[in-house]
Structure 1
Amino acid sequence: MPTTALPAEYRSDVETLWDFNQMHHEPRPVDVGIGLGGHDIGVATYAVDLFHAGIFPLIVFTGANAPTTVDRFPRGEAVHFREHAIERGVPDDAILIEPRATNTGENIDFTRDLLEELGYLGSTKSVMLISRPYQQRRSFAICRKRWPEVDVSCGSLPLALDDYVAGIGDVDRVMNMLVGDTQRLWVYPAKGWAIEQDVPDRVREAYERLVDAGFNRRLLPEQSH
């Protein structure tokens, strides 16, 4: 049975990565909200909250399936997110779905293609990427690289670390994902997939300690630590 208790010996380092991977953008009105697929239904919940608050008039949910989501969202991440939003009062005509993307780069590319196909791209000057909390900085960097002409901000359901872990139900999974997303902050720019970002020494050192402690399941195979 997965545990939701964050081990005390790792708390400081996990909190360092948790805080750094969020962009801390204040929600502001944008043309389109983009809900990035994954295992966290909180992405769709927050998109609904922002829609009802008038932050954006149109939502795109983007995502197919991954091995970690197919059991939870068998019809696809974007499809389930859309259903979740409609159940919470978002009109069907305010939601677009992009059901093919299997990674964040495809989320961005395929969403832009969909908006162009449906005639929305010309009026899309600003977007908000809604993601898991620790996915914000990576998503921001990818979007700035692949869609540089759009003004991008980021957001996630505002939860404290312990509340987020409790909602996911598996602290080990969250810690491994958090370490993996941190590694991608320098690996992706080296591959030309994202813009460069400054990663402070304290973040790299926290990352290294967590890798050394065995939280390495989400590391890219061509990059250890």
Structure 2
Amino acid sequence: MTAMDRSRRLPTADEIAEINRRHLIETPLAPADLLFMFGTREDVALRVETAARLWREGYFGWSIVSGGVTPGSEQSECAIIKAAMVEAGIPAQRILEEHRAMNTGANVILSLPIIDAALGLQNIRSVICLGNTWTARRYPMTLHRHWPEVEKMLLTVDSFATPRALWHTDAEFRRRMLHEWDKIGPYKAKGFIAEWPGA
């Protein structure tokens, strides 16, 4: 069965329970030094609206947006998302930019030197990862692989009408979730991500 076919499978009750418990991790949010905005073409407005709310409520002092140019666009995900963040009220000078990443690993690898040059990695003690619900813990797991010292929090958003815990009842939500869940084992084996939280 190919990866695409597998993402169209109907998960068992045990698999649904394991995904809800291990993948859809929710962490308590506390004010952080940095908001890490992972590039996307999905639900950009919702992600930006969430970032703007966090900014207004004092949850971060700096942000980095990471994402390259995707097929069909002349602008990088970073350029599109940052412009929307500024329009939503986040000061442009508080948003660092990474314009080349084409996947989650590159988001982190290419962003770390930018963060270091602007702020000093040693000055960042906590990071909020903001991304899509279905990618879930793979964001902080990727960050943990390359930047284990920093405290990580996870906040995810999606525009599905289906409640998050019932993702398996919506065909497209289910496909996206299973597609991401199936990456965890192989990515850990290849050293792309590291276990988070805990052991």
Q: TM-score with structure 2 length normalisation? A: 0.78
How many angstroms does 1:139 deviate by? 1.3
Name the counterpart of 2:59.
55
Establish whether residue 118 from structure 1 lines up as the match of residue 118 from structure 2.
yes
How many angstroms does 1:45 deviate by? 2.3
Equivalenced residue count is 180
Change (3 A) 1:119 1:26: closer
Letter in 1 for 2:112: R
More strand by share: 2
Change (3 A) 1:79 1:163: farther
Name the counterpart of 2:3.
none
How many angstroms does 1:196 deviate by? 3.6
Segments of structure 1 that go 5 or more residues without pairing to the other structure are 1-8, 165-170, 199-225
Please give the secondary structure, in 2, of the residue aligned with 1:134.
coil
Q: TM-score with structure 1 length normalisation? A: 0.70
Name the counterpart of 1:92.
92
Change (3 A) 1:27 1:160: farther
Please give the secondary structure, in 2, of the residue aligned with 1:129.
strand
Name the counterpart of 2:50.
46
For each residue in 1:59-87, what CA deviation from the matched residue of structure 2 results, as whole angstroms up to 9, or x when unmatched? 11111134xxx44x540111111111111
Q: Work out whether residues 138 and 185 of structure 1, in 8 Å CA contact, stay in contact via their aligned partners in 2.
A: yes
Once superposed, what is the RMSD of the aligned Cα atoms? 2.7
Change (3 A) 1:44 1:156: same
Give the fraction of aligned pairs with identical amino acids, expressed as a percent: 20
Please give the secondary structure, in 2, of the residue aligned with 1:23.
coil
For each residue in 1:199-218, what CA deviation from the matched residue of structure 2 results, as whole angstroms up to 9, or x when unmatched? xxxxxxxxxxxxxxxxxxxx
Which deviates further from its counterpart, 10-19 or 125-134? 10-19
